[in-house]
Amino acid sequence: MNLCDAVFAISLTLLVLTLDGLEVSGLVSFALAFFLVGNVWWHHLRIVAQPAWFEPGLLALTLALLAGVALVPLPTSLIGEDPGASSAVLPFIGLFALLSVVSFVFILRAQRLGAWRQPLAPRLFRWILVDWGTNLAILLACLVVALRWPLAALILLVVASAVGTGVVGVLGPRERRAWF
């Protein structure tokens, strides 16, 4: 757990290096990346607290997630330099899509192995899959939009993520809050 928190903290700290003076694009990319990494950290913190035990596959997925988080400052700096370029926005959104996939696979693997401290009821598992699937679908849609309209993709990412999380959170079963 300490390694995970350290990687997230270092990544968040390194985001400061993506700032180039007080340019608006750099500040916005910093704020967006900080928010998204914070969100990934919060969900990861909740996920890794749930298994009763870890096996090599779950550890490998955790390390893959941490490797992706460590890379976040790089595409963030690209957005700060040119937020209107697809070549800057695609790696940024693509990295967060990859992080979402890794987390999704972690949940699937832990469920398949029965690694949770408390059994995850089928109804709750479906809602968790809907939550992660919604997040991934939003990221993939943003990737498609970024091919043509990079700035619109970043705006869509912020708006759709907030709405998607809110809808799933409100409609999801109450027990979900204890898990994620």
Asked if residue 71 lies in contact with residue 95, where contact means CB atoms within 8 angstroms, the answer is: yes
pLDDT beyond 80 at 177: no
Average pLDDT of every residue of the chain: 89
If one counts every other C-beta atom within 10 angstroms of the C-beta of residue 57, the result is 15
User: For residue 99, what pLDDT is reported?
Assistant: 96
pLDDT digits (tens, 9 = 90+) for 23-46: 788 888 899 999 999 989 988 998
3-class DSSP state for residue 174?
coil
**Paired tokens of 4:** 């995970």
